[in-house]
Amino acid sequence: MTELPSADPAEQGRPPAGAARRLLLVHAHPDDESINNGATMARYAAEGARVTLVTCTLGERGEVIPPGLRHLTGAALGEHRLGELTAAARALGVEDVRLLGGPGRYGDSGMMGIPDNEDPDCFWQADLDEAAAHLVRVILEVRPQVVVAYDDNGGYGHPDHIQAHRVAMRAVDLAAQAGWSVPKVYWNRVPRTVAEDAFAGLGKALADLPFTAAATVGDVPGVVADERITTAIDGTAFAAAKTAAMRAHATQIEVAPDAPYFALSNELAQPLFTTEYYELVRGARGEERETDLFAGLAGTSGEETS
């Protein structure tokens, strides 16, 4: 049985000194944070909230896009992607970036159903409570009011994303036992009608893009019926920051020069969303359709001071 951390009894239930709003996001690989939550992270960081990003692996098995970087594999690729993550966080204004258990503690598991999934050092094979204990330590330190994670399918079925979901949800439960109950937990989402409209626009723009074909709505992680969306974060003002962060992940993402589209290693174009959507899965909704992840939480309105 993994020994779990616990808060100092004198500090249980108390927020840390500093920013009144504290947001923690859990992601599987470098680049996931910028694609899914780049505008959200940039907005809250600019408003003075403490934004903490926990990335679970270094993405050592990712497919590299630029030919000049395809010599990078394994640990060398992981080290390079850590540099990309650092640059992306800088573009978003995020200063608190953690690797779950420390850099290289959990290896990339590769896509579902391949032999790499059986590597005992990969994240997919990690003991759930042991991995969650690493995240509990971060939660007890930061004491976020909001945690953002993937759904139980990891958005699209990647083993590391599924495991990141399991670890995040388990850590939230264990942190509550150890002294900090996270008031609100969200899953990353995209409303189906928004995705469909964006792909319709992509179809018209494709001829002028540096991509030969388009992805489909089914290729976008976390697409659900519109009625499941509880929260929309307008990050339009931070589109440039999100785009810069995605470009920082040059091994994994190619962003169109002057249009809100990008492609991964499959070379299929897809929309770059600057309004980002969420489903509240734990906690009380602040309003019928939230425009703030901290909606309904006392003492978290307005700009913060550090």
Q: Which residues are annotated as a binding site?
A: 29, 32, 161
Identify the CA nearest to 25 among candidates 42, 2, 3, 5: 42
Q: Which amino acid is at 247?
A: R
Cα–Cα distance for residue pair 146/135, rounded to 1 Å: 14
Q: Which residue has the tokens 């469909």?
A: 196
- Binding residues for Zn(2+), as ranges, are 29, 32, 161
| Region of residue 299 (left: phi > 0; alpha: psi -120 to 50; beta: else) | left
**134 close to 113: Cβ distance less than 8 angstroms:** no
Query: Rounded to 5 degrees, what are φ and ψ at 227?
Result: -65, -15
Cα 78 to chain centroid distance, Å, stands at: 18
Residues 251, 256, 262: CA angle, nearest 5 degrees? 60
| Contact partners, residue 73, CB within 8 Å, separation at least 6 | 60
Identify the CA nearest to 63 among candidates 111, 112, 22, 99: 111
| Contact partners, residue 301, CB within 8 Å, separation at least 6 | 294
The dihedral of CA 68, 88, 85, 282: what is its sign?
A: negative
